[in-house]
Structure 1
Amino acid sequence: MSAEKRAQSPSSGGGKIEEHAKVDKEKPWRRLVRLFRYTRPYRARLVIAIVSLLVGAGLGLVYPWYFGELLGDAFAEQSTASLNKNTLILITTFGIGSVFVFIRHYLMSWLGERVVADLRLEVHRHLLRMTQRYFHDNRTGELLSRQSDDATRLQSVIGQDLSLALRNILTLIGGVTMLLVVSPKLTGTVLLVVPPLVIAANLWGRIIRKLARQAQDQLAQASGQLQEGLSAVDTVQSFTREDHEAGNYGQGIERAFKLFVKQIRARSWFMSVSSFLAFGAVAGIFWLGGHMVIDGRIAPDELGKFFMYTLAVAGAVGSLAGVVGSYNQALGATARLFEILDSEPEIQDAPDAIALAEPRGEIGFEGVTFAYGDRDLEVIRDFDLRIAPGQVCALVGSSGSGKTTVGRLLLRFWDPQQGRVTFDGHDLRELELASLRGAMAEVSQDPVLFSGSIRDNVRYGRLDASDEEIEAAAQAANADGFVREFPDGYDTIIGERGVKLSGGQRQRLAIARAILRDPKVLLLDEATSALDSESEHLVQAALERLQEGRTTLVIAHRLSTIRDADRIVVLDHGAIVESGTHAELMGRGGAYSRLVARQAALEPDRAAS
Structure 2
Amino acid sequence: MSMHGGGGQRGSGRGGRVSRSDVAAQREENKAAPPIPDLFKRIVALFAPHKVALSFTVTLVLISAAITVIPPLLIEQAFNQGLFPPSGIPNMPLLLRLVGTMVMIWITSAALGVLQTYLTESVGNKVMGALRIRLFSHLQAMELAFFTKTKTGVIQSRLQNDVGGVASVLSNTVSSILGNTVTVIAAFIAMLILSWQLTVVAVIMLPLMVFAQRKVGQVRARIATKTQESLSEMSAITQEALSVSGILLAKSFSQQKAEVARYDAENHVQMDLQVRQAMSGQWFFATVQIFLSSIPAVIYVMSGYLILGSVPVTIGTVVAFTTVQARLLFPMMGLLRVALDLQTSQSLFARIFQYLDLSPAIIDAPNARAVSPAALGRVEFVGVDFRYPDTEARSRLTLKNISFVVEPGQYAAFVGPSGSGKTTISYLIPRMYEASKGHIMFAGENVTDLQQDSLVDHIGVVSQETYLFHATIADNLRYAKPDATDAELEAAARAANIHKTIVSFPDGYDTMVGERGYRLSGGEKQRIAIARVLLKDPAVLVLDEATSALDTVSERIVQKALDVAARNRTTIAIAHRLSTVINADVIFVIDGGEIVDRGTHVELMGRDGVYARLVAEQIRMTTA
Q: 1:425 is matched with which residue?
A: 444
1:393 Cα offset (Å):
0.8
| Counterpart-to-counterpart distance in 1, 2:29 and 2:536 | 37
Q: 1:6 is matched with which residue?
A: none
| Equivalent in 63, 76, 95 of residue 68 of structure 1 | 76
1:340 Cα offset (Å):
1.2
1:20 Cα offset (Å):
6.2
Residues 345 and 339 from structure 1, CA distance in 2 versus in 1: closer, same or farther, beyond 3 angstroms? same
| Equivalent in 361, 366, 369 of residue 377 of structure 2 | 361
Contact 2:27–2:229 under 8 Å retained in 1: no
Answering whether residue 295 of structure 2 is matched by residue 276 of structure 1, we say: no
Contact 1:24–1:335 under 8 Å retained in 2: no
| Counterpart-to-counterpart distance in 1, 2:304 and 2:159 | 55
Between 417-426 and 440-449, report the one with greater CA deviation.
Answer: 417-426
Answering whether residue 584 of structure 2 is matched by residue 561 of structure 1, we say: no
Between 33-42 and 318-327, report the one with greater CA deviation.
Answer: 33-42
Contact 1:19–1:343 under 8 Å retained in 2: no
The two structures have a TM-score, normalised by structure 2, of 0.90
1:294 Cα offset (Å):
6.0
Answering whether residue 531 of structure 2 is matched by residue 512 of structure 1, we say: yes
Q: 2:280 is matched with which residue?
A: 266
Q: 2:121 is matched with which residue?
A: 109
| Equivalent in 336, 350, 354 of residue 339 of structure 1 | 354
The one-letter code matched in structure 1 to 2:322 is F
| Counterpart-to-counterpart distance in 1, 2:371 and 2:511 | 36
Residues 316 and 104 from structure 1, CA distance in 2 versus in 1: closer, same or farther, beyond 3 angstroms? same
Answering whether residue 548 of structure 2 is matched by residue 529 of structure 1, we say: yes
Q: 1:255 is matched with which residue?
A: 269
Map Cα deviations across residues 44-86 of structure 1 (whole Å, 9 max, x no partner): 3222222222211112222322233333356522322222111
Contact 1:568–1:582 under 8 Å retained in 2: yes
Contact 2:214–2:340 under 8 Å retained in 1: no
The one-letter code matched in structure 1 to 2:119 is L
Residues 409 and 283 from structure 1, CA distance in 2 versus in 1: closer, same or farther, beyond 3 angstroms? farther
Answering whether residue 464 of structure 2 is matched by residue 445 of structure 1, we say: yes
Between 516-525 and 210-219, report the one with greater CA deviation.
Answer: 210-219
| Counterpart-to-counterpart distance in 1, 2:308 and 2:92 | 25
| Equivalent in 329, 332, 357 of residue 314 of structure 1 | 329
Map Cα deviations across residues 210-261 of structure 1 (whole Å, 9 max, x no partner): 1111111121122112111122211111111111111112211221222222
Aligned partner of residue 124 in structure 2, secondary structure: helix
Residues 88 and 307 from structure 1, CA distance in 2 versus in 1: closer, same or farther, beyond 3 angstroms? same
| Counterpart-to-counterpart distance in 2, 1:306 and 1:95 | 22
The one-letter code matched in structure 2 to 1:338 is F
The one-letter code matched in structure 2 to 1:518 is D
| Equivalent in 32, 47, 63 of residue 55 of structure 2 | 47
Between 466-475 and 296-305, report the one with greater CA deviation.
Answer: 296-305
| Counterpart-to-counterpart distance in 1, 2:343 and 2:209 | 16
Answering whether residue 221 of structure 2 is matched by residue 209 of structure 1, we say: yes
| Counterpart-to-counterpart distance in 1, 2:533 and 2:409 | 16
Q: 1:586 is matched with which residue?
A: 605
The one-letter code matched in structure 2 to 1:599 is Q
1:19 Cα offset (Å):
10
| Counterpart-to-counterpart distance in 1, 2:296 and 2:411 | 86
The one-letter code matched in structure 1 to 2:506 is P
Aligned partner of residue 78 in structure 2, secondary structure: helix
Q: 1:8 is matched with which residue?
A: none
The one-letter code matched in structure 2 to 1:368 is V
The one-letter code matched in structure 2 to 1:139 is K
The one-letter code matched in structure 2 to 1:446 is E
1:443 Cα offset (Å):
0.3
| Counterpart-to-counterpart distance in 2, 1:286 and 1:599 | 98
Answering whether residue 154 of structure 2 is matched by residue 139 of structure 1, we say: no
Residues 282 and 208 from structure 1, CA distance in 2 versus in 1: closer, same or farther, beyond 3 angstroms? farther
The one-letter code matched in structure 2 to 1:235 is L
1:408 Cα offset (Å):
0.8
The one-letter code matched in structure 2 to 1:417 is S
Q: What is the 5 A alignment of 1:404-415?
A: 404-415=423-434
| Counterpart-to-counterpart distance in 2, 1:286 and 1:393 | 95
Q: 1:489 is matched with which residue?
A: 508
Map Cα deviations across residues 541-584 of structure 1 (whole Å, 9 max, x no partner): 11111111111110001111000001111111101111110010
| Counterpart-to-counterpart distance in 2, 1:223 and 1:444 | 28
| Equivalent in 491, 511, 521 of residue 472 of structure 1 | 491
1:282 Cα offset (Å):
4.1
| Counterpart-to-counterpart distance in 2, 1:489 and 1:566 | 38
The one-letter code matched in structure 2 to 1:84 is L
Residues 442 and 184 from structure 1, CA distance in 2 versus in 1: closer, same or farther, beyond 3 angstroms? same
| Counterpart-to-counterpart distance in 1, 2:40 and 2:116 | 20
| Counterpart-to-counterpart distance in 1, 2:33 and 2:204 | 36
Residues 68 and 138 from structure 1, CA distance in 2 versus in 1: closer, same or farther, beyond 3 angstroms? farther
| Counterpart-to-counterpart distance in 2, 1:475 and 1:242 | 42
The one-letter code matched in structure 1 to 2:259 is E
1:406 Cα offset (Å):
0.8
Map Cα deviations across residues 15-61 of structure 1 (whole Å, 9 max, x no partner): x999967976346xx43442343333333322222222221111222
The one-letter code matched in structure 2 to 1:25 is P
Contact 2:226–2:273 under 8 Å retained in 1: yes
The one-letter code matched in structure 2 to 1:360 is L
Aligned partner of residue 243 in structure 1, secondary structure: helix
| Counterpart-to-counterpart distance in 2, 1:121 and 1:281 | 48
Q: What is the 5 A alignment of 1:351-390?
A: 351-358=366-373, 360-373=376-389, 374=391, 375-390=394-409
| Equivalent in 249, 262, 270 of residue 235 of structure 1 | 249
| Counterpart-to-counterpart distance in 1, 2:566 and 2:188 | 80
| Counterpart-to-counterpart distance in 2, 1:68 and 1:26 | 51
1:125 Cα offset (Å):
0.9
Answering whether residue 364 of structure 2 is matched by residue 349 of structure 1, we say: yes
Q: 1:396 is matched with which residue?
A: 415
Aligned partner of residue 280 in structure 2, secondary structure: helix
Q: 1:4 is matched with which residue?
A: none
| Counterpart-to-counterpart distance in 2, 1:269 and 1:421 | 65
Contact 2:73–2:190 under 8 Å retained in 1: no
Q: 2:522 is matched with which residue?
A: 503
| Counterpart-to-counterpart distance in 1, 2:387 and 2:283 | 53
Answering whether residue 319 of structure 2 is matched by residue 304 of structure 1, we say: yes
1:483 Cα offset (Å):
0.6
| Counterpart-to-counterpart distance in 1, 2:294 and 2:36 | 37
Q: 2:8 is matched with which residue?
A: none
Residues 364 and 18 from structure 1, CA distance in 2 versus in 1: closer, same or farther, beyond 3 angstroms? farther
Map Cα deviations across residues 95-142 of structure 1 (whole Å, 9 max, x no partner): 111221111011111222222222111111111111122112221101
Aligned residues: 589
| Counterpart-to-counterpart distance in 1, 2:308 and 2:350 | 56
The one-letter code matched in structure 1 to 2:366 is P
Aligned partner of residue 415 in structure 1, secondary structure: coil
The one-letter code matched in structure 2 to 1:49 is T
Q: 2:183 is matched with which residue?
A: 171
Contact 1:215–1:257 under 8 Å retained in 2: no
Between 142-151 and 65-74, report the one with greater CA deviation.
Answer: 65-74
Q: 1:186 is matched with which residue?
A: 198
| Equivalent in 208, 211, 216 of residue 196 of structure 1 | 208
Root-mean-square deviation (Å):
2.1
1:301 Cα offset (Å):
1.1
1:207 Cα offset (Å):
1.3
